[in-house]
Structure 1
């Protein structure tokens, strides 16, 4: 009996001397949003070895302790349409992404910045150099087309199509997440629906996703979404509409609901289709998008030769009014040249015209607006960029309410603070898109609940992209975390000042490592490359 009492006492004494379990990070007293759409709970969150270890009342200490009292603790936000692929090898910090709460980015609207055969090395370089966010990317169908057909507008023959599918197969096995198209831009615009179906089947074989900047986002948006659904259904893979919008003023308030009906009907019959969006009424792309697509056949030199030919230019101008087969009229979508603003002339001599509309530049130079725009394109030393004011606020709110929309910025990490992202487009979405979803559409406009806004940026995109163990605060999941002060949360980037950081994002953790601390980047690079389902390890 005495020995038993002594043994119990000894165990108790030893237990008292043993240190309590120590975690890497403990986030205390936060309003924890799990990402699945549930209301917040008041809890501590412990992180160990990059993953969530425990949620609840936690007595043990963390090597890093964060007091989140009065703040919201959310899974890290996921950018479903990112443009950082070419920047991250040169600067992996992605500060403008992280400071708006984004911990994971899915790039590749234009494909990977390297050919299919070099994707594995590209991913290894990112891992070796380090990146501060998690990053995955699609591969573009155009990257299969150009090596085989060049800038030709013709359809591939059977042997050429086999080569294109083989390139996509290589990309998928290297870790691409699926296939993309950008169907308003040549040479992607030259691809027929049947061609896209055939190449998409190579991505479908590995469980990839087909995501598209659809063929038209104006009066033909319903027809263009229907094409995406057809490709998805025939090829047997999920379909994602990039940056869903209605860029056609006469269709505002009407066409977006038509898109909803089309997508809902497809989903009801078992087609896995959804969309992402950014939350601004202006889009941005190259000024060359105002030129009918056929003029690009043969490449840049051929385009410049056509622009220099008065008869050809006269034809192009006529087609601004009549339309042109296979071309989306973005000038019409913007309501005319008054809705098109030059933001990056790519030529010091023309920089004086930046932040003016093409209509204003035309008046100042005494030119026809089309001539003013196309002269700027021809004189650009790189891709001349413009902002197009073409969407309605009510349509943004309508689309946000669709349960299957997620959030994507169509913007990249910046190479250097104070300069635009790799697209060369100074647009506020680069610095404010994710934060704006909550600041404007939860707090100000009451379009979404906080829980659903967070779901659209966390568990839904993670589920959509088959990212196991991301997008939720759950024991065992990767510990990507965004901690924010809802009262202080505000996007500050504007069209006039597009590179202003938001307020209210206090801490951001990526794979359990603090990357943003009291709004400042720590320099840490704990991000992971997210390879697609066909990756061969």
Structure 2
């Protein structure tokens, strides 16, 4: 009888439903870095319904349990200069970001891929279709300009400026974080500080930002910073400088300390200004920026026509050799010559074999002037944009900028689901695959420029506070559960200029809004990301 009772009890127990888990995920026994710069503490982290439910000793069970003993637990990283406005619609898995521990993207240097009155619908479609990371953006001031003036130089009329203000107001109401500029690129370079102040004032009514790729990052870096400060002060907006750098070989060790001093002085008098940066000695952009701005003053097609004219080429070669102009940042001189300008993407079978080689080297091989080589490649790439790497920065200046408490981290790169070799689109910049882990691997572990706590703060708590994301960026109860788990000993960026498409190591668990997107090193395919909308209550009639 006892055996029969025991058998029946066992059968009933096996048939009973399992007790419901207390939490969706519990991360056990990790060294928790809260994102605020505090020392780590040993704790469990419980996640439920997309939020951090408990930090400390967690007696309850999780539907999913992660053993983090010997590893660190931190907030997900925030990419302060993302370029995924367009690519995220195709690369919604954002694997290149997730594998770096990035869970939120702030895009918009070039604006949005849709006009101002379509931004709200675009946001909705991103969420409806699913994205693996959180995403917010700025609206490009040049978008508003181009709507009424095209891509030519010139000053707007009062009527045109009024339309631009209305476009900015539409974008702000849709939830962008402010307006952006990239003032070394035509036609954005034709926008004056006075025009930008007018547009910034609209963003300022929503506590928005003026974020800028400065007009000059080389020998005229300091006047460019002062222009940004002036726009911020007169426009009533917060100012963010994109990829802070001293990109001028003759000024290494001098310009960056002066730039830091200028920003600190502005902050001391109440200007809300900060900057983000990537941690590489080369920038990456189009080869078309190697010609003066006046070449593009009558639009792109006219500019390409000028580049085909030998007489025009003779003139601009002299101007390239002479240095920067008032409205043009000469990246060839900033890099120290064509030897330090490396072809990245040619978009041409005639030049594909030379990708990864300097323009000076290609010129020797083809027995041509390096300038002619560069501009021939620009023409051959049409309608695509040939790109190059410009080795313009020094490690010492990177360290100086990185030490500032108000700098955050941005990749200047778009999200990609491509984690294998190149596919004919040219060479990527390694920042697209390694920028965030490199901050820790190179500047915490190797160079000891930052503490681990400060590095994590720069990539999580500080940018969240900066952007007004009050429920993200920290490991605290009630916060959105954007969380990563990493092994400090194994954490390493592996992407290089020679092999840029390479995943980092050491980050094996990534959680976005309480859902695992990378689990034990494997991408789950989940799309739990949300659009980050900046609040703005401008009435429909306001501008």
Q: TM-score range by the shorter chain?
A: over 0.9
Q: Is 1:414–1:422's contact at 8 Å kept on the other side of the alignment? A: no
Shift in Å, 1:19: 5.7
- Correspondence for 2:410: 408
1:227 paired to 2:236: no
From 493, 497, 500, the equivalent of 1:498 is 500
1:189 alignment partner, SS class = helix
Cα deviation, residue 506, structure 1 = 1.4
3-state SS of paired residue (1:82): coil
Partner SS for 2:27: strand
Aligned residue number for residue 13 of structure 2: none
Q: Displacement, 1:458?
A: 0.5
1:364 matched to 2:381? The reply is: no
**How do 1:482-493 residues align onto structure 2 when only pairs under 5 Å count?**
482-493=484-495
Which residue of 2 is the match for residue 207 of structure 1? 207
Q: How many angstroms apart in 2 are the aligned matches of 1:409 and 1:274?
A: 16
- Asked if 1 retains the 8 angstrom alpha-carbon contact of 2:332 and 2:341, the reply is yes
* Contact 2:427–2:500 (8 Å) recurs in 1: no
Q: Secondary structure of the residue that 2:295 maps to in structure 1?
A: helix
Deviations 1:156-195 (A, max 9, x none): 1111110101001111111111100000000000011101
1:341 corresponding residue in structure 2: 342
2:517 corresponds in structure 1 to 515
CA distance in 2, matches of 1:266, 1:421: 45
**Aligned pairs (5 A) from 1:124-523:** 124-322=124-322, 323-381=324-382, 382-414=384-416, 416-418=418-420, 426-523=428-525
Q: Does the residue aligned with 1:446 lie in a helix, a strand or coil?
A: coil
SS of the equivalent of 1:452 reads: helix
Q: Give me the whole-angstrom Cα distance separating, in 2, the residues matched to 1:236 and 1:422.
A: 45
Contact persistence 1:101–1:505 (CA under 8 A): yes
- C-alpha root-mean-square deviation of aligned residues, in Å? 1.7
Q: Does the CA-based 8 Å contact 2:96-2:418 persist in structure 1?
A: no
Normalising by the residue count of structure 2, what TM-score does the alignment of the two structures yield?
A: 0.94
**1:365 CA drift (Å):** 1.2
> Which runs of at least 4 in structure 1 moved beyond 4 Å after TM superposition?
17-21, 419-425
Post-superposition Cα deviations, 1:381-416, rounded to whole Å, max 9, x if no partner, equal: 300010011100001111110010000000011153
Taking the aligned partners of 2:514 and 2:39, their CA distance within structure 1 comes to: 23
Q: Which 5+ residue runs of structure 2 have no aligned equivalent?
A: 1-16
Is the CA contact 2:89–2:126 (under 8 Å) kept in the aligned structure 1? yes
Provide the residue aligned with 1:51 in structure 2.
Answer: 51
For the structure 1 residues 419 and 136, does the alpha-carbon distance in structure 2 shift closer, same or farther, using more than 3 Å as the test?
farther
Distance 2:194 2:133 in 1: 36
SS at match of 2:259: helix
> Scaled by the length of structure 1, what TM-score is found?
0.95
Deviations 1:211-270 (A, max 9, x none): 000001111111111111110111001000000000111211111111111111111111
1:347 to partner: Cα distance:
1.0
Q: 1:47 and 1:499, CA in 2 relative to 1: closer, same or farther beyond 3 A?
A: same
C-alpha distance in 2, partners of 1:345/1:99? 28
CA distance in 1, matches of 2:423, 2:238: 29
Contact 1:339 / 1:357 at 8 angstroms: preserved in 2?
yes
1:25-70 CA-to-partner distances (Å, cap 9, x unmatched) read: 1000000000000000000000110000011111100001000000
Question: Contact 2:342–2:389 at 8 Å: present in 1 too?
Answer: yes
Structure 1 residue 336: deviation in Å? 0.3
Alpha-carbon spacing, 1:525–1:421, altered in 2? closer, same or farther (3 Å): farther
How much has 1:418 moved relative to structure 2? 3.2
Alpha-carbon distance in structure 1 between the residues aligned to 2:256 and 2:453 = 24
| Whole-angstrom CA distance in 2 between matches of 1:300 and 1:60 | 63
Q: Which runs of 5+ in 1 are unaligned?
A: 1-16
Report how far residue 18 of structure 1 moved: 12
| Distance in 1 of aligned mates of 2:491 and 2:284 | 25
2:123 maps to 123
In 2, the alpha carbon distance for the partners of 1:264 and 1:172 equals 29
Q: Is the 8 A contact 2:420 2:502 kept in 1?
A: no
How many matched pairs? 521
Aligned residue in 2 for 1:13: none
Whether the 8 Å CA contact 1:241–1:275 is kept in 2: the answer is yes
Deviations 1:507-531 (A, max 9, x none): 0000011101122210000000001
